[in-house]
Amino acid sequence: MRTTAPLVALLAASALVLTGCTGGGSSGADQKSTLTVLTPSSTFLIDPASSQNLATTSLSFLDRRLTTWDVKKGQDAKVVPDLATSTGTAGDDGKTWTYTLKDGLKFSDGSPITSESIKYGIERSFSDQLQGGLSYHKTLLEGGSDYKGPFDGESLDSIETPDAKTIVFHLNKAFGDWPWIASMPAFSPVKESNGNPATYKKAPITSGPYKVQSIKDGTSVTLVRNKYWSKATDSVRTAEADQVVFQESQNQNTVVQNLVNDTGSFKTAFGAQYLGASDLAAVNGNPSAKSRLATSQAGPIQYLAINTRRGDLQQLKVRQALEYAVDKKAYLVASGGSNAGAYASTLITPGIAGRQDYDLYPAPESGDVAKAKSLLSSAGVTGLKLTLLTQNDAASLAEAQAIQQGLKRAGITVTLKTEDVDSFSTDVAKSNPDFDLALSSWQPDFPSANANISPLFDSSQIGNGNFNLSQYANKDVDTAIAAAQAEVDQTKAQAQWAAIDKRIMQDAPIVPLTYAKNSFLHGSGVGNFFIPSFPAYPDYMTLTIEQ
């Protein structure tokens, strides 16, 4: 997913569950069990067609999808059936995917969930009235590039529903990761009578274990049980809390302090935003709070993008010089130290199946200045001057200054160009951007190397708001990416992606800096709070509250 902006947006709404209750019923207690989620976001993006929500976070409590993720501590994430009976049956060498729905599926109004409602939910995502959602399926489905949604009565013929329980997808190319695509928000069923974008976000008819009771814009969203949800059809969600209340527009400092104090309702609450360096200092100074801190393994990649089409940076030796000149130690310190990340050398992030660890540019943590100078001399480049684009917040500026000082040691002069988050997000993704270097980060939208590599290094992803920030174009790499995407056998595909990873790094289009770690704080009444290998966020679907 795009992480040039803070990762907070991904956690705009999340939910926990209470142990000891049965799905679809009451806890049997006089007082309803309530979990409070504290989020800085002022908006809960309820419409799945507009959401980039991960399968393990907020919308999974309101919406089910054809598939979902099964994440466990210390294990790679797996794609598993959700509404469907399997993760999909491939045909036509991976260009056709067929799903059969489980028996007894119902919406929160008691009506049956059908293949047609899933087709309609996907079709809605093509409308200009619903923007911002993940769009992988839009480029993969036949006819998707010309389709404008169902609100003018048009249907997308590449999605077939031969009966109420069967749905068939016809793709314009083989795509072995389609089971992961089917876990994205747009694959949630939507009733046509409830599909108006203007009204859906106020009164959605849901398919998950909860439904919306009330929405107070910018203040709170309250979810209560969907009595028609059946645990018998859902192998992943426990959904044992009676209600979940999202408290929005929360000040992060106040959230951390309340959770550190751990009194009253904050005992059964957690913060939806990962902690920054100052937050971690406050938590680590309190033994009780420190015991309630969960820190992820190394995950999302933080990197320095090198504009491979600019001046001397077109030379491989110059880019390789940057690999050695960067002071990763200083960058990590500026980022918050070992609590904030671990040193990176590959493109595929930890927690992705098939990842191979390697380092084509071995050097001390602070870099190898002599090696960098030697490469620049060999390239005939002296007095190299570069512009580094970064965001203007204090944390980003500190990280950029660490890069600036590291490169200065090799005789490279770096001028910082700082922008607010919106301007940065626009300018960094232009077709002909005005920068030499840019600091960015990337959390894949699904746990496959495909989602690591293709968006950042396929030449089709240059400019137009896409995220090949290095302007990197290599025909051989493009061909290899296409072959790996088409491979249905995931063991074979993983080996292909690992080889592509190394091939790209031979061209040095980025400097991998760190794999970020995210830390979250919860109250003492919240149990089973862990962060899986992927994603670098807690799995809110299986947490408990300990009375």
Task: Specify whether the CB–CB gap between 96 and 169 falls below 8 A.
Answer: yes
Regarding whether 530 and 466 lie in a shared domain, the answer is no
Report the alpha-carbon distance of residue 180 to residue 184 in Å, rounded: 7
Question: Is residue 21 a part of any domain in this protein?
Answer: yes
Regarding whether 353 and 237 lie in a shared domain, the answer is no
Question: Is residue 274 a part of any domain in this protein?
Answer: no
Question: Is residue 396 a part of any domain in this protein?
Answer: yes
Domain that holds residue 462: 301-516
Q: What is the pLDDT confidence band of residue 220, given thresholds at 50, 70 and 90?
A: very high
Question: Is residue 117 a part of any domain in this protein?
Answer: yes
Task: Specify whether the CB–CB gap between 487 and 90 falls below 8 A.
Answer: no
Question: Is residue 103 a part of any domain in this protein?
Answer: yes
- Given a cut of 90, is residue 54 above it in pLDDT? no
- Given a cut of 50, is residue 417 above it in pLDDT? yes
Report the alpha-carbon distance of residue 504 to residue 457 in Å, rounded: 8
Regarding whether 174 and 94 lie in a shared domain, the answer is yes
Q: What is the mean pLDDT of residues 426-443?
A: 92
Regarding whether 512 and 524 lie in a shared domain, the answer is no
Regarding whether 541 and 471 lie in a shared domain, the answer is no
Regarding whether 231 and 117 lie in a shared domain, the answer is yes
Domains in the chain, number: 2
Question: Is residue 454 a part of any domain in this protein?
Answer: yes
Token couple for 136: 């992988």
- Given a cut of 60, is residue 248 above it in pLDDT? yes
Query: What is the identity of the amino acid at 21?
Result: C
Task: Specify whether the CB–CB gap between 436 and 306 falls below 8 A.
Answer: yes
Buried b (16+ CB within 10 A) or exposed e, 52-73: bbbbbbbbbbbbbbbbbbbbee
Question: Is residue 255 a part of any domain in this protein?
Answer: no
- Given a cut of 80, is residue 265 above it in pLDDT? yes
Regarding whether 524 and 506 lie in a shared domain, the answer is no
Task: Specify whether the CB–CB gap between 442 and 301 falls below 8 A.
Answer: yes
Task: Specify whether the CB–CB gap between 13 and 222 falls below 8 A.
Answer: no
Range scoring the smallest mean pLDDT among 92-96, 125-129, 235-239:
235-239
| Burial group, residue 103, by CB count within 10 angstroms (0-12, 13-18, 19+) | exposed
Which secondary structure element, helix H or strand E, spans residue 394, and what is its range? helix 394-408
Provide the CATH number for the domain around residue 504. Answer: 3.10.105.10
Regarding whether 531 and 458 lie in a shared domain, the answer is no
Regarding whether 467 and 396 lie in a shared domain, the answer is yes
- Given a cut of 70, is residue 485 above it in pLDDT? yes
Report the alpha-carbon distance of residue 492 to residue 383 in Å, rounded: 46
Sign of CA dihedral 101, 103, 107, 109: positive
**Length of the chain, please?**
547
Instruction: Supply the pLDDT for residue 16.
Output: 31
Regarding whether 240 and 323 lie in a shared domain, the answer is no
Regarding whether 425 and 325 lie in a shared domain, the answer is yes
Bond from prior residue into 535 cis (ω within 30 degrees of 0): yes
| pLDDT tens digits, one per residue of 121-172 | 999 999 999 988 899 999 999 999 999 999 999 999 999 999 999 999 999 9
pTM: 0.87
Q: What is the pLDDT confidence band of residue 547, given thresholds at 50, 70 and 90?
A: low
Q: How far is CA 455 from the centre of its chain?
A: 13
Regarding whether 337 and 225 lie in a shared domain, the answer is no
Question: Is residue 282 a part of any domain in this protein?
Answer: no
- Given a cut of 90, is residue 6 above it in pLDDT? no
Token couple for 247: 């408290």
- Given a cut of 80, is residue 229 above it in pLDDT? yes
**DSSP code, position 167:** E
Quote the strand ranges of 354-499, DSSP E: 385-391, 413-419, 437-442
Token couple for 524: 């003492």
| pLDDT tens digits, one per residue of 334-381 | 988 888 899 999 999 888 889 999 999 999 999 999 999 999 999 999
